[in-house]
Structure formats: structure tokens, C-alpha cells
Structure 1
Amino acid sequence: MTAVHGKGGRGRKAPRWWRSQSRARRVVWAMLMSVSLVAAMITVGTRGAAAPGPKCPKDSGLTFATGDDVSKGSFRRDMVAIWNGRNPPGKQVTVMELPEHTDDVRAAMVSKAQAGSCAFDILAIDVAWVTEFARHGYVREIRLRPEERALFLGKPLGTGFVDGRQYAVPFYTDAQLLFSRSDLPPARTPAELTSLASRHKLAAQLGDYEGGTVNILQAMSAHGAKINDGDEIVLDEPGNARLALEALHRLRQMLRNNALAGPAEDMDEEASLMAFENRAAGYMLSWPSFFHRLAASPSMLDEDGDPMLRVTPVPGAGVLGGSDLAISSTSAKYAEAREFIMFLAGAEIQERLFACSGYAPVLKSVYDVYRTAPRTCEDLPWLEKPSPTPAAGDDIELPDITAGQLSRFAAAIRSAVEAAVARPPATHYATFSEVFRDCTRRVIVNELAPEELDFGRFADALRAALDGRRYDEDPCRVPQ
């Protein structure tokens, strides 16, 4: 990556040499740059829909690369088993689960893509990676008919749309939720959550990984700060900088005052779940996929055995997450891969993944069902037995979750998704995330005083990161 330094203003201002040119010369330069841009776009478009390499086999089954299935009962694997039971050997899908952490999953997929490997046909990728994977040519375009597009919630579908083309189809969506026990007061505002956490503790993820980025972005958004407008960084605008600093100061104080279940600066989702389940924290920020595990936990029942798990949208705005399904540009089985993707994104599977595992649906119709006539996992018709797992109602252990709980859960998810803010859609999002965490976590863990964070410099470093460049000096403050 190219190192950069110095301080600039908002956005990417025209350079001085351009402003010094006459109008006629500017027209000539603009024409030349337009020709270059068109050529570049043609090249990127060709790479994004690249033909498979000749070495990749066409007559074998499909390989589905995904992160670890953390849901209760691992029903996602059962859905693949249902597909395999309906299809001939040439369409059989093998699930390849990659390392647990989001960052490690991305690294494994990128490594294979850069090597031109035939290891994967279908990829389940974090919504924050879609732009990177599309522009680098790791995945190919998936054409959706208008009637197919109309089935999906708008925000989740939009995560797979890059440069005017659909490169991924939503598998499940995500927006942070606030989990709490019903014997504690509800938190309706960020201020109320801070106050309640001082008495009952909050489990959150502030570790040095993507989960930490999301939680810090959420804290800033909840305070009204705007980090980006599309792919433009606006964090250094006066109002945004002030509100973002207030959010960082709040997290810093909560950490110092032991209002966060610890060690919060190193926590990931599993550690947060353990703290909440063990009642080391009365509140938890996390994702919908943990609902079923908690709802089935004895620690979430009162003395009479009644459920006491409460789930609401986070106070303020959360951050849009989720997983999209894409087809590897090296796969020789586009038609079969697309068919499998639309199977997983279909109503039959989406309802099962929600009711049985807690994955947040991407289809409007599923939310309509759970608003008007909710059904539990046991109530769903099981047309086939997922092999080798028995069908629901036999000897598989199902969480004891009521239709009413699922109805309220679905409503909380939809409200959270509709209010959620998106992370910057960028080819070099991973670099942005690293730089963002570097500066903000240093303030939170007391390595950098809040007043030392130079928002102009920080915002410029984030702009450079979105372009794949790094500062050669401290991106957080002016060197002494």
C-alpha cells in the first residue's frame, strides 16, 4: 500500500494544478480522464463477471464456503442436507466451514481467490466485503429478475449491489439487538443504557477485530454522529466530530467504571454471550443468531420456569450486518450455484432458519407471516428429513420457544434492520476498519486522551484507507 501523510479537508478536493488550468485545458483533461475511466470500468466489469478457469471441474458437486454455524441446533447445515436429498450427485453441496472469526474467514477466502483456486463455488460473505470481492473479481454477477428482487427487504438486497450490478444475494440480515432480562428495566435511550449498565453491567464487543469496529460505529451512530455518507467520510464535520467524541468518552468512562462486563476491550461475541448467560451482565449487545441459544438456556428462566429474555432494537441506530451469498468467479457451475443460492434465499428455508435457529430473514413475506400467524419450529411442515439429523419432532432437541416470542423477535429484527446504518461500501473496507479501530480503541482503553484525537487527521486517514493507502505517521494525532 502507498503511504500518505498530511492533512486535507472534507472529501477529495481538486488538486492545485487542476485549479490553475484554463477552462479550455480543463475540458481536454476531462475528456482524457473520461476515456481512461471508461476503460477502467470495462476492465473491472470484465473481471467481476470473469469466466471460470479451464482447470475447474464442471462435473463434480458444489462447495459452499462459510463461517462457523453458531446458531442453536446448527439448522443451517440441515438446510444443505435437505438440498442434497432433493438433488442428483452433480448438484450435491459440501459445506466447508472456515475459521470462527469474521476477519479470519475473509482472509481464507481472499487467499483462495487470489490464487485462482477452484476450492469454492458459493461463498457466504459478510456484507461489508461485497464491494471488495466484486471489484477485485473474486465473485461474479448474479442477475435477478424484477419479481425476484421484489421479494427482499431493501437494505439487505442493497448490500449485494455494486457499481450498478448485483454480485450477491442476501442469505440472512443482521442488526444489533439489545438483549436483557425482563426483571431489569428496559433501556430506551443511550443515556438510559449507560445508567443501567453502571448498576447491572453491559456485555459488548470492543476487541481488536471487526466486531469491535461494529460496536464502536454503533456507539457513535447512537449518539447522532455520522461517520460516512456512502463512500465519503464526513466524520470530521464539526457536529459529527463532537458527537463521535462524546460516544468515545462514554465508552471510555464505562470501561473505567466497570460498567462493561470484562475484559470488554478483548471481548468477542462468544465471551459476551457467556457473561450475559452467567448473569455477569444484565444487558448485552449482540446479533439475532444468539437468540435461540439464550431462549433455550435455563439461566433465562425465572423461578417458575417462565422465560425472562427480552430483545429490543439497540437504543439509537445499530449497524447493518449479515451475510450474502455469492458465486466464485472461478466456479464452472454458475447455473447450479445460482439455483442453490435461490433455494437458501427462498421462503421455505428462510422461515426454517428463523424459527429454528434465529437467523434474521431477508424476505418480506417471512416478516408478514410472523406478524399475523407466527409458527414455531415444531409447527413447520418438514417435507424431508435432513440427513443424518432426524426431522423436527423426533429426537432432535429443539429450543422451547413460543410463537409469541418469535413474533416479537421478528418485529424487533425488522425495526432494527430498517433503522440500521451501513458501513462504507469500499474495495478496501478491511483497511478502513483497521485504521478506525486503531484510533478509537486507543481512546477507549486510555492509550490516547480524547482531546488528543485529531479528527481532521483521523478522517483523512480513513479516506486514505478507503483508497487502500495508509498514513506513514500516526493517523490519530499530530506527531509531537
Structure 2
Amino acid sequence: MEPGHDGGPEERPGRGGRCGAGGRVRRSPAAAGALALVAGAALAGCGSSGGGGDGRGAAALNWYVYNESSGSFAKAAADCSAASNGRYRISINVLPNDSDGQRQQLVRRLAAQDSSMDILTLDVTWTPEFAEAAWVEPFDQAESTRLTDGMLPVAVQTGTWDNQLYAVPLNTNAQLLWYRKDLVPRPPKTWDEMLADAKRLAAQGRPHYVEVQGAQYEGYTVLFNSLVASAGGQILSDDGTRVALGPPAEKAVEAIRALAHSPAADPSWSNQREDDNRLAFETGSAAFQLNYPFIYPSAKQNNPKLAAQIGWTQWPTLVPGQHSHSTIGGYNLAVGAYSHHRAEAAAAIGCLTGRQNQIRTAIDGGLPPTLKDLYTDRKFIDGGYPFAPAIHEALQNASVRPRTPAYQSVSLQIAHILSPPTSVSVGRLADLRGAISDALDSKGLVP
């Protein structure tokens, strides 16, 4: 595994219940630099909202999570609170919907050692950074075994750093190629075939756009990572210390450029995020969509006629005859290092990631579960998750984003230098290599 600290007791921050109270912590240069940039953010109410119960003996747990649109997270919090028999009560603190905004809010509060940070929802790419900064508590071996029992190994890996579990998978995720069965009788297997189908449909005056993330943000980094991996490469070396952008990265850039200068490109591509892609597809202007499975329950609700025509297949590859490698996504749950309710928070995480809550989140919200056996459970598949086998296949072949405490800086450099899609070129890769090297050396860190 990549280098990191071992999470021993002597390296964990203290939880004395006051801002600024902490023990000795060893941090990587990247994490320490990021912390230094935000340590001055003295947040109002630091350490004042998570220290007690609700007056009836129940620990008041704050769960920081984005506003999941189906309401499944809120239902899980209510059900788990009731099932705890008075041990704890979970209140949701809503984070921004975009990953960058979520991280910024969490980092600023953690830098101020806010003791209200009980249960934290972390993007799968944040584990190295938050672990190295000692912002989250590691789980011991017994807890790790119990909390991840039956989960997909690839999902558990996203919450692990230096061979220790810091975050329990809440859901996993992988993109599929969604297409209109009434427009595309045989789904494409490669990027070039997809663009050729879109060109044919455009010539016929029929819906033809390929909806995919193109705005300058994390989703664009995910697109680039999936293309590089599907071309047989990766962005960083296995240990996360060196830039590894070779010929596969050139193929990835050429694929972006080919889409940008073809009829398949939505005119607003350079401003689109996942939800923009969903909305555009639901209006009927597109033939394809590269996106996560949340789009399926949404289409069933908003455009049932269109939903009946939605087909799905694996992400298009750049190498004919070889499997594609879409990027694994998802969210994990961690215990904040300054929480006064570590045991209760760990117990609540076990409930929130439990089987029934995962099923409801998948059916209602489209978020793929982390429990392996659900992907072969006919009741689950036939009950509202028909694409489960396709998601499972994608996860088995999924790529990961660069695993480094400096990930945020690496991601921002990718999204910045390769934007907008219409001006991307192989020549920009030299600039990207240099910028990523600087990020790994803790230059140009971002809060």
C-alpha cells in the first residue's frame, strides 16, 4: 500500500472538547500544507454543537452528508436513530451537492477541530488526505471486519490507507453507457463506434448527442481518468509518487478532442455536470449518456416513456477487444477525530451502511450498493435495479483515481489544463505532467 501513518494512538489528535486541543500528529507534506491554508478559518460554534446528548441520554450525532434527492439518507438516519433504542440520535447536516464544495466545508471545520463532526461522508478519493491529516479516526481490526463484512473488496479499498480502514463504504458507483434503444439497435463497444452512431443519427435529423461531463471540475477529471485507463494507462505510478502519463494519455486527449469536434458534442458540453447530462437526456435530445445509475430512477419518474427505451452497456473502450475501465466512485463514512461520541458514531455507521438501507438507497436513489451478494440477488434485481449485473461488471474492471494525499491538487490541475474540451490537445500534456509533479511536491496546494 501507499505510504502513510499507522494510525497508532500516539499519532491521533486529542479530543479535549475545545478548539485547538490536540495531540501530536504526523502528516504528509501535502496534507500539512492543505491544513496550513485553512487552519486560520475560525469557524463560529467550533466545538459547541456535538458535545452532549439530547437531554434524554441519547448521544446527539451529526451526520455531514449531501442532500440525496430521493430522501433515502434521511430515512436511514431516522430508522437507525429509532433502532438504537435511545443510544444515539442522528441529525443530518447538509453539505453542498458538488464534491469540491463538500470537501471545502469539511476541511475548514476539521482544521478548526470542530467537535460536532461526528459522522463524515467522504468522497472515495479523500481517504489518503484525511487519514494523513489525522482528521478521521481509524477503525481497529475487529471493527473493520465487522463493518465491512460482505462488502465488495474494491469498495473497501477506497476507505483504506496504509493497510488500515478509515472509512466504511456507504455506496459505490461506476458509470455505464446509457443509450436509447429506439435509436440505437446495437450499442457501441468503442468510443469511435459511439461517435459514428451519433454522426449517423445527426445526419438523419434524430437525437444524437453524447451527454458527458465537460465542465472544469472533478467530473471532468473522472472522464480523463476513465479514458486513460481504458487506453491501458494511468495518471500516477502505483505508489502515487510519480507522474505516469504516457501514450495512453495521448489517446485519451485525442478521444476528448474527437468528441468535442463532432456532431455528438452537446453545444453546452463545456459547462455540463452529471445532473446537466441527466436533464438533457430526459428532454430527449441525446442518444447516449455516460453517467451514474442515479439517472434511471429519475427518468422513470420524470419521463416514463423515455425510461422504457433506456438501455445500458459497459463504458466504451478505446482499445477494441479490451474491456473499458470506468472510474470507481462512491462515498464512505468516517468518524471525525474530534467527536465526543466515537463509539456511538461507529455503531451508527454500521446501521447506516446496513443491508436494508443499502437496498433502499439503490432502488430509490440509484446508488449502487457495496454488498457483494446483492448483485446476484434476483429479488433486488427484479425489484427495481435491473442493471445490477452491468454495474457489477463495471466495478470488477473499474479504475481508481490517483491515490495520493495531494489528490485535490492533482485533480484541479487536470481539470484546469485540459479545459475546455474544444481546445484540448496532446501538446498540453507536457504542461499537465509538470503541474502534477508540482502538486505531488506540495507546490500549489489548495484548501
Q: TM-score range by the shorter chain?
A: 0.7 to 0.9
Answering whether residue 310 of structure 2 is matched by residue 335 of structure 1, we say no
Aligned partner of 2:291 among 273, 286, 290: 286
Give the Å deviation of 1:41: 4.4
Q: Indicate how the Cα distance of structure 1 residues 375 and 320 shifts in structure 2: closer, same or farther if over 3 A, else same.
A: closer
Contact 2:122 2:332 (C-alpha < 8 Å) held by counterparts = yes
The alignment partner of 1:92 has SS state of strand
Which whole-Å CA distance do the structure 2 matches of 1:114 and 1:212 have between them? Answer: 28
- 1:126 maps to 123
Superposed, 1:341-380 pairs within 5 Å as 341-369=349-377, 373-375=378-380
Between the aligned partners of 1:267 and 1:47, the Cα distance in structure 2 is: 46
Residues 424/231 of structure 1: CA separation in 2 closer, same or farther (3 Å cut): farther
Give 1:91 shift: 0.6
Match of 2:222 in 1: 214
1:261–1:280 Cα contact (<8 Å) kept: no
CA distance in 2, matches of 1:290, 1:144: 37
2:71 alignment partner in structure 1: 74
2:402 maps to 1:424: yes
Q: CA distance change for structure 1 residues 47 and 159 in 2, over 3 Å: closer, same or farther?
A: farther
| Alpha-carbon contact 1:102-1:210 (below 8 Å) kept | yes
2:252 is equivalent to residue 247 of structure 1? yes
Gap change, CA 1:187 and 1:47, over 3 Å in 2: farther
**Alpha carbons 2:181, 2:309 under 8 Å: kept:** yes
Judged with a 3 Å threshold, the aligned counterparts in structure 2 of structure 1 residues 155 and 365 are, in CA distance, closer, same or farther, namely same
* Aligned counterparts of 1:93 and 1:319: Cα–Cα separation in 2: 31
Alignment gaps of 5+ in structure 2: 19-46, 54-58, 202-207, 317-323
What is the CA distance between 1:109 and its match in structure 2?
Answer: 0.4
- What does the per-residue CA deviation read over 1:267-308, in whole Å, with 9 as the maximum and x for residues that have no partner? 011111111001121111111223211233325448xxxx22
Structure number with bigger Rg: 1
- Work out the number of aligned pairs and report it: 389
- In structure 2, what residue type is equivalent to 1:459? R
Gapped regions of structure 1 (runs ≥ 5): 1-36, 377-401, 472-480
* Aligned partners of 1:174 and 1:360 also within 8 Å: yes
When normalised by structure 1's length, the TM-score is 0.75
Identity of aligned residues (%): 24
SS in 2 for 1:285: strand
Query: Once superposed, what is the RMSD of the aligned Cα atoms?
Result: 2.4
Deviates more, 1:462-471 or 1:91-100: 462-471
TM-score, length of structure 2 as denominator length: 0.81
Instruction: Summarize deviations over 1:233-281 as a string: whole Å, max 9, x none.
Output: 6655xxx533322321222232223412231111011111111001121
SS of 2:126 mapped into structure 1: helix
Alignment of 1:95-134 (within 5 A): 95-134=92-131
Q: Residue 256 and residue 233 in structure 1: after superposition, are their counterparts in 2 closer, same or farther (change >3 A)?
A: farther
**1:296-351 Cα distance to aligned partner (Å, 9 max, x none):** 3325448xxxx222122212110011100000001011111011111122222222
Q: How far apart are the structure 1 equivalents of 2:225 and 2:305?
A: 29
Matched, 1:467 2:441: yes
Q: 1:319 to 1:295 in 2, by over 3 A?
A: same
User: What are the Cα deviations for residues 57-82 of structure 1, in whole angstroms up to 9, with x where unaligned?
Assistant: 14341000011213xx3222111111
Task: Work out the CA distance in 2 between the residues paired with 1:295 and 1:412.
Answer: 19
Question: Is 2:279 the partner of 1:274?
Answer: yes
Amino acid at match of 1:467: D
Does the 8 Å CA contact 1:350/1:366 hold for their aligned counterparts?
Answer: no
